Amino acid sequence: MKKHWFILCLILVINVGLNFQTVQADRGPLHTLIPIGSDYGSDTLQLFAQAAVQRDTNGIVDLLVIPITYGTDAYSTTNGERQKNLTLADYRRSQIEAACNAVKLTEQTCRAVLAPVLIRSDAYLQSNLDLFVPDLDGMYILGGDQTIGMKVVANTPFEERMANAFNLGAVVSGNSAGAAVQSRNMINGYVGNNGPENGFQQGSVDLWLYDGPTDDTRGLSFGISNAIF
């Protein structure tokens, strides 16, 4: 009798599992956000890379590294500052590609490309929009200043391409400011002399509340809506 019940339960579990997989497949692409703390640790970068590796379907793990949070002004920069920021961003790109190489399958190739978007005008350049390949597997937003980052991309064609890639299943990650922009309601800074240590005190945080996709003072349009990073 016990054996018969076990077989019946096993059949039910198998059927439920198959039905669950069918439902999941019908729901479309999986949407994945991976916010990370303030460091470029190999373990956390590999966590992002692993998710992107699992998303790959053509043997090339395509990653786009996005330095929108760099710089001190969202609208202008000097040649010297631009070159300095792009050099640092490319170093981060190499770290992310290395993390991908550490977790990829033998038959896969990792390709991490830097999007040179540092000021708002960069977010309209066709050359930068063309970096969003149809089978993009992941986007990594570098740390820096989230306020600068959103002033650079909010309501631009570049943000639209980011949203489209995310909706198609590209994994989105980033650390520090690159994590902060992943929530629609975004911390813009702190009021007065307050800092992170005062973050749970009422009135200490300058919060950009999401007021629709055309709002300029918010996190990414496709960011999470029920949490603040």
Q: How far is CA 186 from the centre of its chain?
A: 14
> Could you tell me which residues come within 8 angstroms of residue 203 by beta carbon, excluding any fewer than 6 positions away?
191
Average pLDDT, the chain: 89
Residue 4 has pLDDT above 50, yes or no: no
What is the rounded average pLDDT of the residues 170-192?
96
Does some domain include residue 131? Answer: yes
Mean pLDDT of the 70-94 span: 97
Please check the confidence at residue 22 and state whether its pLDDT lies above 60. no
Flag whether 13 is in a domain: no
Task: Determine the pLDDT at residue 212.
Answer: 84
Please report the pLDDT score of residue 16 as a whole number.
36
Range of the domain at 167: 29-182
Q: Could you tell me which residue, 39 or 140, shows the higher pLDDT?
A: 140
User: Is residue 199's pLDDT more than 90?
Assistant: no
Complete DSSP assignment for the chain: -HHHHHHHHHHHHHHHHHHHHHHHHHT-SPP-EEEE-SS--HHHHHHHHHHHHHH-SSSEEEEEEE-TT-SS-SS---HHHHHHHHHHHHHHHHHHHHHHHHHS-TT-EEEEEE----SGGGGG-HHHHTT--TT--EEEEPSS-HHHHHHHHTTSHHHHHHHHHHHTT-EEEEETHHHHTTBSSEEEEESTT--GGGTTSTT-EEEE----TT-SSSS-TTSBSS---
Average pLDDT rounded to a whole number, residues 68-95: 97
The mean per-residue pLDDT over the stretch 21-29 comes to: 51
Residue 209 lies in a domain: no
Structure confidence at residue 9 (pLDDT): 39
Q: What digits encode the pLDDT tens for the residues 45-74?
A: 999 999 999 999 999 999 999 999 999 999
In percent, the amount of the chain with pLDDT more than 90 equals 81
Mean pLDDT of 141-163: 97
Residue 27's pLDDT is 64
* 212, part of any domain: no
The reply to whether 218 falls in a domain is no
Kindly report the CATH number assigned to the domain that includes residue 174: 3.40.50.880
pTM of the model: 0.86
Does residue 182 surpass a pLDDT of 90? Answer: yes
Look at residue 169 and tell me whether its pLDDT is greater than 70: yes
What's the structural domain count of the chain? 1
> Would you call 207 exposed, middle or buried from its count of C-beta atoms within 10 A (0-12, 13-18, 19+)?
middle
The stretch 197-206 carries a mean pLDDT of 91
Please determine, for residue 142, whether its predicted confidence score (pLDDT) is greater than 50.
Answer: yes
> Does a structural domain hold residue 216?
no
Q: Looking at the domain assignment, is residue 67 inside a domain?
A: yes
Higher pLDDT, 87 or 1: 87
Position 104 scores a pLDDT of: 97
Residue 33 lies in a domain: yes
pLDDT, residue 107, reads 96
